[in-house]
Amino acid sequence: MHILLKFSLAVISLEKAMKKASMDMINKVSATKKLTPEDVYTLASFAMDCRIAPHKTGDKEVHCTLAKSLWI
């Protein structure tokens, strides 16, 4: 099981899409698990996986996942 956050952008670069998806994941986990963003950033640097989805109609999609097993 994974927590999945998807971000799709048509006009900005793939690097910016990756940064946006990563920060959105960090902020989401920070809010839901009552951790500081700095702690989540540290955890994400070890455990978060971001993938680039195949292009559809020109959009760049980045999927970031974090295993739910980290919270059990």
**In whole angstroms, what is the distance from residue 54 CA to residue 57 CA?**
10
Domains by residue range for the chain, with CATH:
2-71 (3.10.28.20)
The two three-digit tokens of residue 59, written as one number: 């959009």
pLDDT at 4 over 80: no
The answer to whether residues 40 and 28 touch, using CB atoms and an 8 Å cutoff, is no
**What band does 11 get if pLDDT is binned at 50, 70 and 90?**
very low
Average pLDDT over residues 15-40: 90
So what's the pLDDT on residue 37?
Answer: 93
How much of the chain exceeds pLDDT 90, in percent? 31
User: Which string of b and e fits 23-60 if b means at least 16 CB within 10 Å?
Assistant: bebbeebbeeeeeeeeebbebbeeebebeeeeeeeeeb
What does the pLDDT read at residue 12? 58
Distance CA 62, CA 25 (A): 11
